[in-house]
Amino acid sequence: MKGVIFLEFLALVEDKFGLDVADDIIESSTLESNAAYTSVGTYPFSEMVSLVTSLSERSGVSIPDLLQVYGEHLLGRFVARYPVHFEGVDSTFELLEKLDNTIHVEVLKLYPEAELPRFNPNRVAPHVLEMNYRSDKPLTMLAYGLIAGCAGHFGENIDIEMDDRSDEAQTNVTFTLTKVAA
């Protein structure tokens, strides 16, 4: 995983739980890197698992809930760090529809070794978008949080349903997003 993901996670922990908790989870986690993350570095996924597990144990918040909150936080950070990807985009559906074919293409130009999940959008109706999410990492609730954060960014009321068909080898979830009239 890219270091920016780790750095943003630790920033969220400091913001929501405090510097002492961030230090505690780093000390109680198994980290080959010793948490010496750089935004462009690549680090083992196992380190993120260790950090999130330690935070869940320390805070009493479930791992799925932590991942969802982190996803929402991460979307806000992406808006701040990479505003070019949000320019001229007016809706959640519009952004999600360009994720794999535009945004992830640009990410891979900068970081060819990045292991990105796949998002396959299908506009079922003007107010309904299905997003098939596939990844070799079990981060469904992080993806959910990113989608929810996206809806919040655009000020849209969107109902998100999940059909999880994952197995031990791969995460495979279809998110059905339905715009709800305000």
Q: Are residues 79 and 153 in the same domain?
A: yes
Tell me the C-alpha distance between 5 and 91, whole Å: 24
What is the residue range of 35's domain?
Answer: 3-61
Are residues 83 and 115 both part of a single domain? yes
- In single-letter form, the type of residue at position 169 comes to A
The three-state DSSP-derived secondary structure of 34-73 is CCCCCCCCECCHHHHHHHHHHHHHHHCCCHHHHHHHHHHH
The phi, psi pair for 175, rounded to 5°, reads -95, 130
Residues 78 and 161 in one domain: yes
The whole-chain average pLDDT of the chain stands at 92
Q: Are residues 96 and 126 in the same domain?
A: yes
Same domain, 107 and 124: yes
Domain count, the chain: 2
Q: Note whether 116 and 157 are same-domain residues.
A: yes
Same domain, 18 and 85: no
* Average of per-residue pLDDT across 92-110: 83
In the sheet that holds 118-125, the strands lie side by side as 118-125, 128-135, 171-179, 158-164
Asked whether the predicted pLDDT for residue 6 surpasses 90, the reply is: yes
26 and 99 housed in the same domain: no
Residues 101 and 39 in one domain: no
* This model's pTM is above 0.85: yes
Distance (Å, whole) CA 155 – CA 75 = 13
Sequence-distant (≥ 6) Cβ neighbours of residue 93 within 8 angstroms = 121, 123, 129, 177, 179
| Segment 133-144, tens digit of pLDDT | 999 999 999 999
Last residue of a domain, one of 61, 79, 102: 61
User: Could you report the per-residue pLDDT of 39-72, keeping only the tens digit for each?
Assistant: 888 999 999 999 999 999 999 999 999 999 999 9
- Portion of the chain with pLDDT greater than 70, in percent: 99
Both 15 and 50 in one domain: the answer is yes
Reported as a single tens digit per residue, the pLDDT across 104-117 is 777 777 777 777 88
Q: Are residues 144 and 173 in the same domain?
A: yes
Residue 122 shares a structural domain with residue 47: no
What string of DSSP letters covers 129-180?
EEEEEEESS--HHHHHHHHHHHHHHTT--EEEEEEE---SS-EEEEEEEEE-
Q: State the pLDDT at residue 21.
A: 96
